[in-house]
Structure 1
């Protein structure tokens, strides 16, 4: 397995780099914001493309299957790319690939091709994978190990800011288009994604010219076995799989759930406001979690949040109206700390296997492709609300990981 060296210079600044660790952390937050924004735009695309191409829920979930399938196919090649061209150029390349994918939405809309849309999403996602494989462990290394969860939660807070803004942006520019003309509805996605492509290229240029703290070029010492021998890492990978799958499944279906597929409360454009609150809760929760985990262990916070999410989902399934709406919206608040906390618990104590473990965990993000498809199949057969039982099972596993699974074996 290809591994990425994530040993960052430990001094606060370097005359060769011209940027201290805090400055690098601040700049990296722009990446977290952008891939959060782009990922959450899928939640707008799903209902839009579903109406445009008259898709079932399962067929519409191919958006997430394609997007998160890129994590499974590209995580290890992304590690190889970064190992060959370096961290800085890896970021620039990832941004460029994502920009190309966003630009491809223009011809996809012109050709009215669902397959073309999925191809553009796959290329966009490949670029994001290159960024994410490097950025998560890099942020974890920009300080002491004891505060790694807090630091990653802080940067993930800006990821959540992107997911909060995206539904407002997408709802206004895409779902507000009420034209009955199919060509006009398809064209609604063109300019927003061209604008995103330009933004990605601009950020790539910024990273191309700034000097970041360098990743040391020392090779990892060879040892018998691999990162797969660590039980808490393997269980953590399953935790990432279930968490991303559950979060993506819920986020992808909220617009439909608030409308004709569930609660019958709003049209698509109005439902995006509550989708934004769902992701906004994740943003607020990450900033709160970053502070709370300075005082309370990460595993205890993860266990508490897992229980709260299960209670909220069950409440939404068993009620109706605004009680059901706010119950599922509040899931975002308690989702907040899960990904970065599972990630840091899983790579804790890996030593020279840390970068290899990061690749395994990023591979597990494929849960965002698999779980929504399972939920979509159940939704088409038994109703959208009933399909949330899949998410409950996912969070039940996360509770197990928080209580027992994260502990190191001898």
Structure 2
């Protein structure tokens, strides 16, 4: 193979890894908005898909690290993509199978087979994203040749990851619109097909190129001995707990906010029309601010220590969340048109209902009762009323508390890197094993939001954020005290 061919293959591999980096966020962030559909059918199921997705990390974290050593980066990545394709396909099956097959009941409510199929698919997708998380960062570093170039590729991949996290709730919100008892998984299957197509194409590309395997175990090589566990280091043990809680914070804040915005009952934010789409647009800003936060952190990290950053963002996040809790939901602001345009959205709704584009545009520019009367049958078939159409043209008002919760994205953006860096400080040869344990603790992104969702059902959406404050308080403690290495007597070389 010539040098040009090798370089071309490397470029293709880098592009594929970038897509996979984005797919990690895309697949992970499908769970929360999909929960709007299942939560409308089962009050307790809103965060179950998210929990199953993250629960897989508990089982796959350490094995994924072992796979890198035994079968290498390439085969681990291929396995992850195949598993992800299967998981997404099973989620798709939940839209066509089992809606009429009752299996058991929870609290007197029958649970149907299609929910179980969806949860199985979400669990399998969790295996996929866990393996991809283990592969993509070091693989991009390898393809970049390490050093500054490798780090640059990782940062670029992280940017795409944040971008995908920003766009996913927007896409789902556009497809769902207002969640009703008629909204089903079949309404969002295009997203599943797009994701499956990306996995399939990436699988073909990665299988056709050569990837360096410096960590692949060689036959006959002696295995390195470890006299202690990484958890023997106090700052690592406390850091593992911090990672568990952090992922719960990162996922729980926007997920519960999405439910709050989409709920048209008295418990919700008071948005009666297109709540899911508006909520998706607002939540997208949270993920966008995470992207901004990561960029800003990269600019100041040379001068401001990781510990100082963690202490600062934990403190600010606590203040923002407290303000959100105590701000009455009747205090709000009009959503800017660049975030959500009610005129454009109403036009799309009318067009999807079967009304010609020209007529829909004419109506939104000059709403008339005559138009609504003439198209009453079409609107009724699309489960809309003249009142709901007129209401959708109004600029929606969102509780001010949502703004403070969205701003938390600036804070959560730098927490993962900060906790990880502090927790592996001084571990030496134990760092790799600690990384596998950290990957297991990503399960917190499923467990803690699920608990928060249960609390919101009993005490209200905003009251459930007291759990988030408690978790943020632990991160503040870790930054102040818990991150100090008090086990320097343990040999690490």
Normalised by the shorter chain, which TM-score bucket? Answer: 0.7 to 0.9
Conserved in 2, the CA contact under 8 Å of 1:24 and 1:213? no
Q: Give a deviation string over 1:270-310, Cα, whole Å, max 9, x none.
A: 21100111111111111111222122111111211111111
CA distance in 1, matches of 2:61, 2:29: 20
User: In structure 2, which of residues 465, 471, 483 is the aligned counterpart of residue 406 of structure 1?
Assistant: 483
Moved more, 61-70 or 385-394: 61-70
Q: Give a deviation string over 1:321-361, Cα, whole Å, max 9, x none.
A: 24212101111121111112222322233222222111100
User: In structure 2, which of residues 51, 54, 58 is the aligned counterpart of residue 68 of structure 1?
Assistant: 54
Q: State how 1:5-404 maps to structure 2 within 5 Å.
A: 28-51=17-40, 54-56=41-43, 58-111=44-97, 112=99, 113-136=114-137, 143=146, 155-173=157-175, 175-176=176-177, 181=182, 185-217=184-216, 221-260=224-263, 261-265=267-271, 267-319=275-327, 320=329, 321-322=332-333, 323-404=400-481
Conserved in 1, the CA contact under 8 Å of 2:163 and 2:291? yes
3-state SS of paired residue (2:226): coil
Q: CA deviation at 1:95?
A: 1.3
Q: CA deviation at 1:161?
A: 1.1
Residue 5 of structure 1 corresponds to: none
Q: CA deviation at 1:190?
A: 2.2
Moved more, 301-310 or 202-211: 202-211
CA distance in 2, matches of 1:405, 1:243: 15
Conserved in 2, the CA contact under 8 Å of 1:262 and 1:385? no
Residue 9 of structure 1 corresponds to: none
Q: How many residues align?
A: 389
What CA RMSD, in Å, does the superposition of the two structures yield over aligned residues?
Answer: 2.8
Structure 1 length-normalised TM: 0.86
Gaps of at least 5 residues in structure 1 are 1-13
Q: Which has the higher helix share?
A: 1
Q: Which has the larger radius of gyration?
A: 2
Structure 2 length-normalised TM: 0.72
Closer, same or farther: CA 349–215 of 1 in aligned 2, 3 Å: farther
Conserved in 1, the CA contact under 8 Å of 2:9 and 2:210? no
Closer, same or farther: CA 181–224 of 1 in aligned 2, 3 Å: closer
Conserved in 2, the CA contact under 8 Å of 1:248 and 1:368? yes
